[in-house]
């Protein structure tokens, strides 16, 4: 079973920052998960929430702030004064750091109700093409089925992961519609029978966000291929 750092490595560094990617690599974690949205001027930026409030000294919605305005904010001090220099990364900066540290990336297209799905997909696809990011080191995931459908068209050679909180009854049909590679789901809502059915159809199965060793052990027993954890540094493969 593989381990991915959630939002970089959220237990050790402010989430969705380059410091998180570097710390994941320094802790020998091969995969990282990051969330991407668009700034007001359509720069793909790495952030989870709809607003910058929780993770910076700003308050507004991400889609209302330009790249320049976002760069003026401090995205590290809320976590620890040690990280006060952390800025919100662009997708280009994140891809560069992943390449530099040989990290594989699970990039989550984070879409809120007012967001433009098509624009996010086009900008992300263009960035990945321009950066020549290695397809075998990238999975694009989303809770938005429509976004994954568009990514299939724009980046046919990039693997797609369907995100769900609870896996729906028509999961097999939805996965087939987007020619999915993997299922990513809430570990608390997964059951063993569904896990085995997904594996039987040949999909990879990933869970978020088990954060203690007992939870991770159960995922391993059920055949989960990768856990996406804030504390991925604690669960080296040798423990299982």
State the residues that interact with ligand G3P by CB under 6 A: 6, 33, 35, 48, 108, 141, 163, 184, 208, 228
Closest CB to ligand G3P among residues 159, 184: 184
In 3D space, the residue among 137, 111, 112, 110 whose CA is nearest the CA of residue 21 turns out to be: 137
Provide the minimum distance between the beta carbon of 37 and Mg ion in the complex, in angstroms, as a whole number: 11
Q: What angle do CA 171, 232, 143 make, to 5 degrees?
A: 25
Q: Taking the complex as a whole, how short is the minimal distance between the CB of residue 81 and Mg ion, in angstroms?
A: 26
| Minimum CB–partner distance for residue 48 and Mg ion (Å) | 6
The binder of 184, among Mg ion, ligand G3P, none, by C-beta within 5 to 8 A per type, is ligand G3P
Helix or strand or coil: residue 22?
helix
Q: What sign for the dihedral angle of Cα 120, 123, 129, 132?
A: negative
Q: Which stretch binds Mg ion (CB under 5 A): 9-17, 103-111, 153-161, 174-182?
A: 103-111
Place of tokens 């055949």: 223
> How far apart are the C-alpha atoms of 157 and 154, rounded to whole Å?
9
Pick between residue 95 and residue 183 the one whose CB is nearest to ligand G3P: 183
- Look at the chain and count its residues: 240
Task: Output the residue with the shortest Cβ distance to ligand G3P.
Answer: 208
Q: Rule CB under 5 A: which residues touch Mg ion?
A: 35, 108
């Amino acid at each position: 079973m593989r381990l991915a750092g959630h939002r970089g490595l959220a237990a050790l560094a402010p989430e969705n920052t380059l410091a998180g990617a570097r710390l994941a690599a320094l802790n020998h974690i091969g995969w990282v998960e990051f969330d991407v949205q668009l700034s007001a001027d359509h720069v793909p930026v790495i952030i989870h929430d709809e607003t910058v409030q929780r993770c910076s000294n700003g308050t507004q919605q991400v889609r209302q702030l330009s790249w320049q305005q976002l760069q003026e904010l401090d995205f590290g001090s809320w976590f620890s004064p040690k990280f006060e220099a952390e800025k919100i990364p662009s997708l280009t900066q994140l891809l560069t750091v992943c390449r530099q540290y040989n990290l594989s990336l699970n990039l989550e297209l984070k879409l809120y109700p007012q967001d433009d799905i098509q624009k996010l997909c086009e900008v992300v696809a263009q960035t990945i093409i321009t950066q020549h990011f290695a397809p075998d080191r990238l999975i694009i995931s989303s809770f938005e089925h429509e976004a994954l459908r568009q990514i299939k068209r724009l980046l046919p050679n990039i693997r797609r992961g369907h995100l769900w909180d609870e896996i729906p009854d028509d999961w097999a049909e939805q996965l087939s519609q987007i020619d999915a590679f993997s299922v990513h789901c809430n570990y608390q809502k997964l059951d063993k029978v569904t896990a085995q059915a997904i594996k039987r159809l040949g999909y990879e199965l990933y869970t978020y966000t088990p954060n203690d060793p007992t939870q991770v052990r159960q995922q391993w027993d059920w055949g989960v291929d990768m856990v996406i954890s804030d504390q991925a540094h604690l669960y080296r493969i040798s423990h299982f």
